[in-house]
Homo-oligomer: A and B are copies of this chain.
């Protein structure tokens, strides 16, 4: 029997959205990786299962190489050293582009949802045959 929990239909992966989530968090204030992981984990859409920390760190590094953010080590020596990230102008533009992309995503998913609804009704009727 198929293990539905390992099937994408269970919705475990919506990971590309971590990028705009990071940018969105950085638009509000400069943050370091660990904090971002916590913020994302606390967000309603990620309740409980926090994102892979490694992935966030790597995303941040990649974004820095692409010029979306710049980083520097924090000067306050409270706790372990933290690398703070700051959103650049390019990063802001990228984030604003995400707006229309997310709109499109939502629209696309809405349409797909409608179609799947119809299709499910269809198969249920078909079962009686």
Contact = CB atoms under 8 A, between A and B. Distances in A.
A10 B14 CA distance: 16
A129 to B, nearest CB: 14
Tell me the number of copies of this protein: 2
A106 B97 contact: no
A59 to B, nearest CB: 11
A102 interface: yes
Interface in A7-48: 7-11, 13-14, 16-17, 19-21, 23-25, 27-28, 43-45
Contacts of A95: 9, 116, 119-120, 123
Interface of A: 2, 4, 7-11, 13-14, 16-17, 19-21, 23-25, 27-28, 43-45, 66-68, 87, 90, 92-113, 115-117, 119-120, 122-123
